Structure 1
């Protein structure tokens, strides 16, 4: 994430082949938070016409990690996260809003709310996630 600003966050996201495949974008980054968005298209749906759970998990994981980067620095890795699907995801855009709940020197706890946005800008909560992100910077011998 380089200098830890919106443009460097966008550069980092663009360097991820899978994020490019999904055409994901960072729309906000800084002050303990990050927002990741992607357009919902047919290739991202499951058999019932809802956004596939794997796409929601991808968005949560990346948003959690980017938000943690605002607190821990650019070298971060998701240690683990859980996700609860609360409503089938339908709409035009998937929005993942992540916020650092608690940050230390080497670890952050982050929450992510996932919404779908319709054509009129209305949003519906479809999933919530929480995770732990670790600084990947070594502080010395283990």
Structure 2
């Protein structure tokens, strides 16, 4: 899969990618895990835990932004064997949340060779939209 072009990805690659993300220190800190992973489509989940609450007793916006950012990286990398870097992430916080599990998914808006635009959203267990984001990501060839 060298070259980062659009091509079918193998089940082995998707298993490796799941492990790559789930073993990252930041995902472990936040409690993020893969819920679903297919080529170009993914859902990740994150528990609302006391360590992620702000002084109002609600999930901190930074934690919500982290899952919105993370799902974009997962979706891009599930389609192409590349590395990515966030250039810009514009977030909207829609509803507060203080308990449960959050689920994030993303949809590609424009798949460029070097820059990719992706929308993401995070919902709670009842389907309430907690936040959304538009991400601009740099596509980096693997070294």
* Superimposed CA distance per residue, residues 27-51 of structure 1 (whole angstroms, 9 cap, x where no aligned partner): 1223322211111111111112211
8 Å contact from structure 1 (residues 4, 30) kept in 2: no
Return the offset for 1:71: 3.3
d(CA) in 2 for partners of 1:86, 1:95? 15
The residue that corresponds to 2:66 in the other structure is 58
Q: Report the aligned-residue RMSD.
A: 1.9
Give the structure-1-normalised TM-score: 0.83
d(CA) in 2 for partners of 1:123, 1:115? 5
Query: Runs in 1 of length 4+ with deviation above 4 angstroms?
Result: none
d(CA) in 2 for partners of 1:80, 1:72? 20
d(CA) in 2 for partners of 1:100, 1:63? 11
* Superimposed CA distance per residue, residues 33-90 of structure 1 (whole angstroms, 9 cap, x where no aligned partner): 2211111111111112211101001101111111111334232222211101011123
The residue that corresponds to 1:125 in the other structure is 129
The residue that corresponds to 2:107 in the other structure is 99
* Superimposed CA distance per residue, residues 76-113 of structure 1 (whole angstroms, 9 cap, x where no aligned partner): 22221110101112331011111212212222211101
Matched, 1:112 2:120: yes
The residue that corresponds to 1:81 in the other structure is 89
d(CA) in 2 for partners of 1:71, 1:78? 17
**Pairs aligned (count):** 132
Unaligned runs of 5+ in 2: 1-9
Unaligned runs of 5+ in 1: none
8 Å contact from structure 1 (residues 34, 99) kept in 2: no
